[in-house]
Amino acid sequence: MNEIVTITTKRFSDLKLEELYGILRVRSEVFVTGQKCLYVDPDGRDFGSVQVFASKGERIIGCLRIYGKEAGVVQIGRVAVIESLRGTGIGRMMMRQAISHVTENLTDEKIYLEAQTYAIGFYEKLGFKVISDEFLDEGIPHKGMELLIERVSGIQCADDAAKAKRDKYSLVYKQVEALVEGEDDCIANMSNIAALLHSTFGFWWTGFYVVKGDELVLGPFQGPVACSRIPFGRGVCGTAWKRKESIVVPDVEQFPGHIACSSLSRSEIVVPVFRDGKVVAVLDIDSINLNAFDETDRESLEKISGLIRID
């Protein structure tokens, strides 16, 4: 099975212990060991920050952080990729994710960073412009750079968001193809698919229920504790099984017989997984936002579910 690169965005306070360790390890390898920067890495700026990190398998291989600099300006720093994977596009993927996060989730008008002089061309390709003379930081030449955030509104904004979602699903589909290639264990595949979707889109709950007799039994998932068993025809999952079709629920409180595994869930999509024309499992995804799912989600998730083989 080919290992793929996954880009994850998390608040510092939401990091798992192993994720925090992996990020600090990369920063230590790149800046302290590799560039001989003798400083205290935990400088207090991580608190309240957003961390963007790249993973390959269980290993974190790159990272950066986003934190407030001043009114209307956020700063990106500690951009690092392990030496063996530099030049493979991982840094560009992380930076694009960071820029998207700032654009879509924050109101700041500028992104500032202090680029090592040799890397200025890399950041210029992402739209950053030099705004300072060269200066030394830990003996390494740097220049201040800045990116002005351009936001659109109305129809163009909606169109751009829809395209971005389609592009993201297209990438995920290719990643799932790589994940399941050569792996015939359905539990392993469902586990990886749930983790990939969950980390990519930031859903509240992402997982599978597997048909066993006249019930759906909880399978691999990401998120809070869930219902263990769902009867045929009950709730959104049981209804999707009965109808043999995907169901998009804009507001779960308006769905007759909705099973509330979590009071925080506001909208939901359930996609059946078929084998020889029979439903053998369902992919269930919940969001804490109303009306979070649309036809793009349904069509894309149906394609992804078609890659799953359950005996």
Token pair in block for residue 135: 């200066």
- Structure confidence at residue 128 as a pLDDT band (50, 70, 90): very high
Q: Could you give the CA distance from residue 208 to residue 308 in angstroms, rounded to a whole number?
A: 11
Among 291, 218, 227, residue whose Cα is nearest residue 255: 291
Sequence-separated (6 or more) residues with CB below 8 Å from residue 181: 1, 2
Q: Could you give the CA distance from residue 209 to residue 273 in angstroms, rounded to a whole number?
A: 10
Return the pLDDT at 153.
56
Helix (H) or strand (E) holding 157: helix 154-180
Whether 273 and 281 have beta carbons less than 8 Å apart is answered as yes
Sequence-separated (6 or more) residues with CB below 8 Å from residue 137: 114
Return the pLDDT at 154.
52
The yes-or-no verdict on residue 263 having pLDDT over 90 is no
Q: What is the mean pLDDT of residues 179-201?
A: 94
Tell me: the pLDDT tens digits for 9-68? 999 999 999 999 999 999 999 998 888 888 888 899 999 899 999 998 889 999 999 999
The yes-or-no verdict on residue 274 having pLDDT over 90 is yes
The yes-or-no verdict on residue 157 having pLDDT over 80 is no
Q: Show the domains of the chain with their CATH numbers.
A: 5-148 (3.40.630.30), 154-305 (3.30.450.40)
The yes-or-no verdict on residue 217 having pLDDT over 80 is yes
The yes-or-no verdict on residue 98 having pLDDT over 50 is yes
The yes-or-no verdict on residue 219 having pLDDT over 90 is yes
Whats the size of the chain, residue-wise? Answer: 311
C-alpha 163 chain-centroid distance: 17
Q: Could you give the CA distance from residue 237 to residue 200 in angstroms, rounded to a whole number?
A: 22
State if pTM tops 0.85.
no
Tell me: the pLDDT tens digits for 275-293? 999 999 999 999 988 888 9
Return the pLDDT at 3.
62
State percent of the chain over pLDDT 70. 95
The yes-or-no verdict on residue 228 having pLDDT over 60 is yes
Whether 66 and 76 have beta carbons less than 8 Å apart is answered as yes
Q: What is the mean pLDDT of residues 214-222?
A: 96
Return the pLDDT at 1.
42
The yes-or-no verdict on residue 155 having pLDDT over 90 is no
Mean pLDDT score of the chain, rounded to an integer? 90
